[in-house]
Amino acid sequence: MSMRKQFVTTIESLLASDEKMVLLLGDIGVHGFKNAFSSFPDRVYNIGILEQATVGAASGLAMSGFIPVVHTIAPFIIERALEQIKLDFCYQKQGGNFISVGASYDYAALGSTHHCPADVGTLLNIPRMEVVLPGAGDEFDKLFRQAYNNGNPTYFRLSERLNNESYDVEFGKANVVKKGGRATVIAVGTALKNVLEACADLDVTILYYTTVAPFDAETLRKNCASGKILLCEPYYSGALAADIYAALNPKPVIIETSGVPRKFLEAYGKREEHDKVLGLTKEGITDKINKLINI
């Protein structure tokens, strides 16, 4: 199931079981939630296209004992309402959920206004913020149910992409997908698909991170004997580097990266066309892992 469809199913189910949940849609996903609108008219709102006040109001709902779920396209919730997330939720220790669609350049054809590869790196700079990147629909369901009412602000980054298979994921924990000796590959969210294909026959460890904040340092420490890391991220490259260095300190480590370069993607087309230009393909990862292994 796509992440978006699973999102509707999961939220509808929790609206029914948890009367503290309030859903605020930024005028997207409205048709998908038509049943929720009729079943829970007091707790499901098409709040409109005013993201900053929406996040502020969501904080007020949290202060009143509700669990807000705010949903719109990634740049509009994270970049436009960043200060509200920082101050009204993170600083003031309020719990709430921010669920985006349009990961990085999922909406390639819509252009740079609708791209948001900076979201994860930006949020990693905000204390108390939790950041979750599922790689499959049912992973979203598991992760959301584990974290949605934990009293912290949590960002769930939905993507149009899906990994080939899903894993038994746990909030705050990385999965050890495969063990090997020559390098450790960290695959975040939907980056796992290419990593699995590129590393199928290689003697490397693959760690799959669906939660990047809080960062599971322990799993990395236990699975990085080689001191060589290929960091594969589906957003602006290198956001996790500081966490990796901190986790392994004082052990020396070589980090190679595969992620979105920090530039505006000014072409349109399909996301796969951008992947190719940016080297974010199976072949691109094969090149990088082979170079890393042979250093």
Partner 1 sequence: MKKKINELKRKIVKVSNRAKEGHIASAFSILDIMWVLYDRILNINPANPEHPDRDVFILSKGHASLALYAVLAEKGFFHDEHLEKFCDFDSMFGGHPDHKKIPGVEASTGSLGHGLPIGVGIALGAKIKKAKNHVFVIIGDGEANEGTIWESALLASHHNLSNLTCIVDYNHSTDRAVLMGDLAAKFKSFGWGSEIVDGHDHEVLYEVLNRKGNKKPLAVIAETTKGRGVNFMENNPEWHHKFPSEDELTQILKELN
Question: Which residues contact partner 1 by CB under 8 A?
Answer: 22, 42-43, 47-48, 50, 52-66, 68, 83-84, 87-88, 91-93
From edge to edge, which strands make up the β-sheet containing 254-260?
175-178, 205-209, 184-188, 228-236, 254-260
Shortest gap between Cβ of 85 and partner 1 (angstroms)?
Answer: 11
Shortest gap between Cβ of 11 and partner 1 (angstroms)?
Answer: 17
Q: Does the CA dihedral 21-22-27-33 come out positive or negative?
A: positive
Count, residues in the chain: 295
Quick one: 84 or 211, whose CB is closer to partner 1? 84
The answer to whether residues 67 and 148 touch, using CB atoms and an 8 Å cutoff, is: yes
Shortest gap between Cβ of 126 and partner 1 (angstroms)?
Answer: 14
Q: How far apart are CA 104 and CA 97, in angstroms?
A: 19
Quick one: 9 or 150, whose CB is closer to partner 1? 150
Quick one: 24 or 230, whose CB is closer to partner 1? 24
Q: How far apart are the first and last CA of the chain?
A: 40
Shortest gap between Cβ of 43 and partner 1 (angstroms)?
Answer: 7
Quick one: 91 or 261, whose CB is closer to partner 1? 91
Shortest gap between Cβ of 276 and partner 1 (angstroms)?
Answer: 40
Q: How far apart are CA 62 and CA 260, in angstroms?
A: 34
Quick one: 43 or 274, whose CB is closer to partner 1? 43
Q: How far apart are CA 61 and CA 55, in angstroms?
A: 10
